[in-house]
Amino acid sequence: MRLKSNHAKGIICILLAAFGFALMTFFVRLSGDVPTMEKAFFRNAFAAVIAFFSLLRSEEKFKIGKGNGKYIFLRCLFGTTGLMCNFYAIDNLPLADANMLNKLSPFFAILASIPILKEKPTKVDIISTVIAFGGVLLIVRPTGDVSMLPALAGLWGGAGAGIAYTFIRLLGRKGERTSVIVLCFSLFSCLLTSPFMTISFKPMEWWQLGCLILAGIFAAMAQFSITSAYKFAPAKDISVFDYTQVIFAALLGILFLGEVPVALSILGYVVIIGMAVFRWYWNLRDDRRREASTTAS
């Protein structure tokens, strides 16, 4: 019962995260011509404030678990570089395309879990990952010129996120608190983006600041939710539900930005999401078989 309860909590958390991240990308795009690094800074600044006050009210305050510092640093490094690239992709690609490339993170998490978590992927994991990257080609549509840069940035956004989530899973095993992970990530991101923001700083209109405040609020909600989700359950069991973000983002893009994905991009979405659903179903079936075998013996 406890296993099922944790999985249910993980699914709820990841759906909330998907909705939060979709709204974050929407408000980031809506903020207009604010430089990418400035957007990234303010997005993380608001998340840091929320995490700070959450920890301030806790008994342990800002204490990091013994031996967890290096893993938090790596989570911050990969997560921040992935975030910066994701924001660049959001500014230069259709909203649904940018979100879809970022949602490759579960496949990168499979690869990252081999050296980090010592988890051996199954044949189905390997095959589905290869096919999913075939779907990436339909979205990226390689041309060999600089027009590919936003798509490649979006691709690293997904890679950085996947590796970061693997470290979140590791920190969850080690008992690290969600608020600590979120605060460290947000502060690290602010420190890394602040020099770039200072160089290209552009004064904002009140409505642009409002959009970035909303982006920060929804990002904080999503960060807390995604961190909790991967602490409740393994990525292989719940990551498929994270793809609802693409649906949320596509609807927001169509309704408010007039963005209709091209046919090849839609086909790429189908391939990638199809592989994610197939992996999820296959893993679920294997788990049921193992449970039945254990019960019978």
Distance CA 87, CA 150 (A): 10
Q: What is the largest CA-CA distance in the chain?
A: 68
CB contact burial 78-107 (16+ within 10 A = b; e otherwise): bbbbbbbbbbbbbbbbbbbbbbbbbbbbbb
Task: Quote the number of domains for the chain.
Answer: 1
Per-residue model confidence (pLDDT) at position 272: 82
Per-residue model confidence (pLDDT) at position 191: 92
Residues 6+ away with beta carbon under 8 Å from 139: 97, 100, 101, 151, 264, 265, 268, 269
Tokens at 260, concatenated: 């209709």
| Number of Cβ within a 10 Å radius of residue 56 | 10
- Alpha-helix residue ranges (DSSP H) falling in the chain: 2-30, 36-56, 69-92, 95-102, 105-116, 123-140, 149-173, 178-199, 206-232, 235-238, 244-252, 263-296
Residue 113, CA distances (Å) to 52, 78, 235 in order: 29, 14, 10
Q: Could you tell me if 242 and 17 are in contact, meaning their C-beta atoms sit under 8 angstroms apart?
A: yes
- Alpha-helix residue ranges (DSSP H) falling in 36-104: 36-56, 69-92, 95-102
Per-residue model confidence (pLDDT) at position 82: 93
The type of residue at 141 is: R
Q: Could you tell me if 246 and 104 are in contact, meaning their C-beta atoms sit under 8 angstroms apart?
A: no
Domain that holds residue 155: 2-296
Per-residue model confidence (pLDDT) at position 143: 64
Residue 139, CA distances (Å) to 56, 94, 188, 248 in order: 43, 10, 31, 18
Q: Could you tell me if 159 and 108 are in contact, meaning their C-beta atoms sit under 8 angstroms apart?
A: yes
Which three-class secondary structure state does DSSP give residue 175? coil
| Number of Cβ within a 10 Å radius of residue 35 | 16
Averaged over successive runs of 10 residues, the pLDDT of the chain (297 residues) comes to: 66 88 90 88 82 80 86 94 90 84 82 89 82 80 71 91 90 86 90 89 90 86 81 72 81 85 84 82 75 66
Residues written for the chain: 297
Per-residue model confidence (pLDDT) at position 146: 61
Q: Could you tell me if 42 and 216 are in contact, meaning their C-beta atoms sit under 8 angstroms apart?
A: yes
Distance CA 98, CA 87 (A): 9
H or E stretch at 34 = none
